[in-house]
Amino acid sequence: MKKESETGGICSSTEAVHAGESRGHWGHSLTVPIAQTSTYVFENTQAVDDFVSGREARLDYGRYGNPTQHIAEDKLAELEGAEAALLFSSGMSAVTTTLLGMLSTGQHALIMDDCYRKTAQFCQMVLRKFGVETTFIPAGDYKRLKGEIRENTRVIIAESPTNPHLNVMDLEQLVAVARAHRIKVVIDSTFATPYNQRPLAFGVDLVIQSATKYLGGHNDLIVGAVLGKAPLVSAIKDYRGILGGVVDPHCAYLLIRGLKTFPLRMARQNATALALARFLEGHPKVRRVYYPGLESHPDYDVARTQMRGYGGVVSFDLDADLERTMAFLDRLEIPCIGASLGGVESIVSHPSSISYYELSREDRLEIGIADELVRYAVGVEEAEDLIADVAQALEAV
């Protein structure tokens, strides 16, 4: 997948509505039934024997699988172009189970510094405790990345685009570096979604999604996913059964429901975010806009060849101090102030106070989290309404 013309049909609404579902559900139900069960029963002891000896593949206990969850996984695998998918109780459960499964004591991982805060903390607090070292690399510094590879490096972890600065990794380069050293690449593709980018097509080994965001799309569930080739995914599935981060059947159903409109929503959110980014870029009270769909973004060329759209998040520095930035946020009438993104409701976030409040101001500035930085995650409201609202709030400060 490279050019727009080659992405036709990928992640289409036809797939989103139908993939993974067979006709003929229980009771002739059109929609997928929710198998709200913790366990599965055997007709007799012979059936138990058939199961444990591997003669019959079936479910035995809810921590290892559920029919509703399996349909959600199959649908997601189809959309991502993956052989297999696993759902988890959260995006972080997907991240932590994957890394615990892939890394052993004495091994080393490389991770981009512009990554999800809790992923970084997992490396610093949990992996380190078990004797796995991680080195943080400035996002996009491929020379540094090569230089930090060690004999025992097993995994490269990156996000693309990143949060909140929307840096885009060159997946082709990343995979080339990793391949040369037989290192696996894990990409957290939450901000791109399979609609905009399919990392597996570039040779990435595993894709992680926080389906809490665009895939669920309604700000009403917490769920994560890991996708990739069947053998690697199967190995991680064993760890999921041990670590226990399974998704509940009702949540799996909500994800299936959300996925049916995912391509519609994503196309809309791509278009709205681009329009908002262009508006902000031309506004005198905005110092800088971070959006990979803008020609002014340092990764625009990579994004253009690697992505179909640029996602629904626009970050920007106001030409203002902390007090006036807060006043701007309070003046906005449509978006809510909050921490998440990707749903139908627009959400604005103030990264320095919402996500990075425990760092000192100096430490925040070092990683580009200024007091005047705003992250705007567009929902599916009308673009012109969102832009008019931003315009009046800028006018007022």
Q: Which residues bind ligand PLP (CB under 6 A)?
A: 90-92, 116, 159, 163, 188, 190-191, 210, 212-213, 222, 224
Minimum separation from the CB atom of position 116 to ligand PLP (A): 4
Q: With respect to ligand PLP, which residue has the nearer C-beta, 117 or 144?
A: 117
**How big is the chain by its Cα radius of gyration, in Å?**
22
Query: Letter for the amino acid at 281?
Result: E
Minimum separation from the CB atom of position 5 to ligand PLP (A): 29
What count of residues does the chain have?
Answer: 397
Q: Which of 171, 105, 178, 163 is nearest to 140 (CA)?
A: 171
Q: With respect to ligand PLP, which residue has the nearer C-beta, 174 or 394?
A: 174
Q: Which of 351, 337, 373 is nearest to 117 (CA)?
A: 351
Minimum separation from the CB atom of position 150 to ligand PLP (A): 25
Do 33 and 26 meet the contact criterion of CB atoms below 8 Å apart?
yes
Determine how many CB atoms are found less than 10 A away from the CB of residue 308: 22
Minimum separation from the CB atom of position 254 to ligand PLP (A): 13
Q: Which of 140, 187, 185, 146 is nearest to 165 (CA)?
A: 140
Q: With respect to ligand PLP, which residue has the nearer C-beta, 186 or 276?
A: 186
Q: With respect to ligand PLP, which residue has the nearer C-beta, 98 or 190?
A: 190
Q: With respect to ligand PLP, which residue has the nearer C-beta, 178 or 186?
A: 186
Q: With respect to ligand PLP, which residue has the nearer C-beta, 328 or 351?
A: 351
Q: With respect to ligand PLP, which residue has the nearer C-beta, 101 or 320?
A: 101
Q: With respect to ligand PLP, which residue has the nearer C-beta, 68 or 163?
A: 163
DSSP class of residue 265? H
Dist CA 317 CA 353 (whole Å): 14
Dist CA 133 CA 246 (whole Å): 27
Minimum separation from the CB atom of position 160 to ligand PLP (A): 10
**Beta bridge partners of residue 224, listed in sequence order:** 88, 210
Dist CA 358 CA 194 (whole Å): 33
Minimum separation from the CB atom of position 190 to ligand PLP (A): 4
Dist CA 52 CA 63 (whole Å): 17
Dist CA 257 CA 51 (whole Å): 32
Minimum separation from the CB atom of position 226 to ligand PLP (A): 12
Q: Which residue is nearest to ligand PLP (CB)?
A: 91
Minimum separation from the CB atom of position 241 to ligand PLP (A): 19
Q: With respect to ligand PLP, which residue has the nearer C-beta, 197 or 286?
A: 197
H-only helix segments in the chain = 13-18, 45-52, 67-80, 91-102, 117-121, 142-147, 171-180, 193-196, 230-243, 249-260, 262-281, 300-306, 322-331, 351-354, 361-366, 383-396
Minimum separation from the CB atom of position 107 to ligand PLP (A): 22
